[in-house]
Structure 1
Amino acid sequence: MDRQDWDARYRAAELLWGAEPNRRLVRECADLPPGRALDLAAGEGRNAIWLAGRGWQVTALDFSAVALERGRALAAAGPPGAADRITWTVADARTAAPVPGGYDLVLLAYLHLPAAGRRAALRHAADGLAPGGTLLVIGHDSTNLAEGVGGPQDPAVLFTPDDVLADLAGVGLTTVRAERVHRTVPAPDGHGTAGRAVDALVRMRRPDTP
C-alpha cells in the first residue's frame, strides 16, 4: 500500500489500531528509565502516547499524515503532559535517517515491508540507537499464515526473528531476546476470541560505551 492508500484506510476508521499500547511494548519497556524514543511507523500514536505518558521524549514517525493527525488528537486527550513530549514527523521509515545515536529506545511495531525495505528500516533504526539503547521489533511472524489468525496474508512482508537478526548482522547490537510469541485475537463482533496470532519479537541492545 502506498501513502494515499494508508491515508484512505485511516480516514475510514475511527481508530484503526485502537488506543491501548501494544502489550509487548509494555512488557518489555515498562522498567526502562525514560529517555529519548523513536517510534517508527507510529500510526495513530498509541505506543508513542504511552511512552510519553511515562516521561519519554518521543519522535513519532509515519508516512501517513492522516494517522499522525489522529495521533495528535489522541495525545491531547491522553495523559497530562504527554502531548508536549511527542514530535510528530511525516516520513518514510525506509528512508528517514535518524540522528546517529540519538535515541535510547527505537520501536518498530508491525511495520511490514518486503525484505529490502524492512532491512533498510531496521538498519536506520540501529543507527539511531545511543550506547545502552534498546531496539524493539514486533510484528506478524511468517508462521502466522498457517498457524495463527489475522495479519497480512502476503508472505513477502512477514518475517521471523531470524530474519531480523540477519538484517542487523554486523551493526554492533547484542541480542536480548529473539523469539516467537502468541497473543489472543478478539473476535470481530467483540464476543469471545478469533484465535491466537503468532508474532516475532526481537529485542536488541547497543552496548554501553567503554
Structure 2
Amino acid sequence: MESHDWDQRYKSAELVWGTEPNRWVLRECQDQPPGRALDLAAGEGRNSLWLAALGWRVTVVDFSRVALDRGRRLSEQLPAGVARHLRWVEADVRTHVPEPGAYDLVLIAYLHLPAEQRRTVLRRAADSLAPGGTLLVVGHDTTNLTEGSGGPSDPAVLFTPDDIRADLADCRLHLVRAERVRRPAGAAHGGSGEAVDALVRLERRAPPVPTPER
C-alpha cells in the first residue's frame, strides 16, 4: 500500500488503531528514562503520543498526511507543553534516512515490507541509535498466518524474530530479547482470538567509561 492508500484508510475511520500504546511498546519502554525517540511508520502516533507524555522528545515519521494531521490534533489534547515534544515528519520510511547516532529509542511497530525493503529500513534505524540506545521491532509474525488471527495475509511482508536478527547481524547491536508473543487480536482490524507477533529488542552498547589513572 502506498501513501494515498493509507490516506484513504485513515479517512475511513475516526481512529484506525486507537489511542492507547501498543502493549509490547508499553511493556518494553515504560521503565526507560526519557530521551530522544524515533517512531518510524507511526501512523496516527499512538505510541509517539504516549512516549511524549512520559517526557520523551519524539520524531514521528509516516507517509500518510492524514494520519500525521490526526496525530497532531490528538497531541493538542495532551497536558500543556507535551505537544512541543513531538516533531511530525511526512516521509516514506523506505527512503527516509534518520539522523545518525541521534536517538535513545527507535521504534518500528507493525511495519510490514518485503524483506529487502525491511532490511534497509532496519539498518538505517540501527545507524540512528545513540550509544546506549534501544531498537524495538514488533510486528505480525510469519506464523500468524497459520497459528494466529488478523494482520496481513501476504507472507512476503511478515517476519520472524530470526529474520530481524539476520537483517541486523553485522550492525554491532546487543540482543536483549527475540521472541514470539501472543495478544488478543482486535476484531475491529480483522482479527478474533489471538494474534502472534514477533518482538525483537536490541541495544547499542555504550563504550566503557575509562578508569582514571591514579
Q: TM-score, normalised by structure 1?
A: 0.96
Asked if the contact 1:106–1:135 (Cα under 8 Å) also holds between the matched residues in 2, the reply is yes
Equivalent position of 1:158 in the other structure: 158
Where do 5+ consecutive residues of structure 1 fail to align? none
Asked if the contact 1:41–1:63 (Cα under 8 Å) also holds between the matched residues in 2, the reply is yes
In terms of Rg, which structure is larger? 2
Q: Structure 1 residues 80 and 3 mapped into 2: Cα distance closer, same or farther (>3 Å)?
A: same
Asked if the contact 1:53–1:81 (Cα under 8 Å) also holds between the matched residues in 2, the reply is no
What is the distance in 1 between the residues matched to 2:199 and 2:82?
A: 26
What is the distance in 2 between the residues matched to 1:188 and 1:94?
A: 27
Q: Structure 1 residues 175 and 24 mapped into 2: Cα distance closer, same or farther (>3 Å)?
A: same
Structure 1 residue runs of 4+, over 6 Å off? none
How big is each residue's C-alpha offset from its partner over 1:48-100, in whole Å with a ceiling of 9 and x where there is no partner? 00000000000000011111001001111124322110000001112111111
Letter in 1 for 2:57: Q
- Cα-Cα RMSD: 1.3
Equivalent position of 1:90 in the other structure: 90
SS in 1 for 2:163: helix
What is the distance in 1 between the residues matched to 2:133 and 2:51?
A: 15
In the alignment, structure 1 residue 22 sits paired with structure 2 residue 22: yes
Asked if the contact 1:53–1:80 (Cα under 8 Å) also holds between the matched residues in 2, the reply is no
Equivalent position of 1:202 in the other structure: 200
> What's the CA shift for 1:2?
0.9
> What's the CA shift for 1:188?
4.2
Q: Structure 1 residues 149 and 79 mapped into 2: Cα distance closer, same or farther (>3 Å)?
A: farther
Letter in 2 for 1:180: R
What is the distance in 2 between the residues matched to 1:187 and 1:120?
A: 32
Where do 5+ consecutive residues of structure 2 fail to align? 209-214
In the alignment, structure 1 residue 125 sits paired with structure 2 residue 115: no
What is the distance in 1 between the residues matched to 2:79 and 2:144?
A: 34
Equivalent position of 1:115 in the other structure: 115
> What's the CA shift for 1:187?
3.5
In the alignment, structure 1 residue 67 sits paired with structure 2 residue 75: no
Q: Structure 1 residues 131 and 6 mapped into 2: Cα distance closer, same or farther (>3 Å)?
A: same
Q: Structure 1 residues 132 and 70 mapped into 2: Cα distance closer, same or farther (>3 Å)?
A: same
Q: TM-score, normalised by structure 2?
A: 0.94
Identity %: 65
Equivalent position of 1:106 in the other structure: 106
Asked if the contact 2:150–2:186 (Cα under 8 Å) also holds between the matched residues in 1, the reply is no
In the alignment, structure 1 residue 41 sits paired with structure 2 residue 31: no
Letter in 1 for 2:153: Q
SS in 2 for 1:198: strand
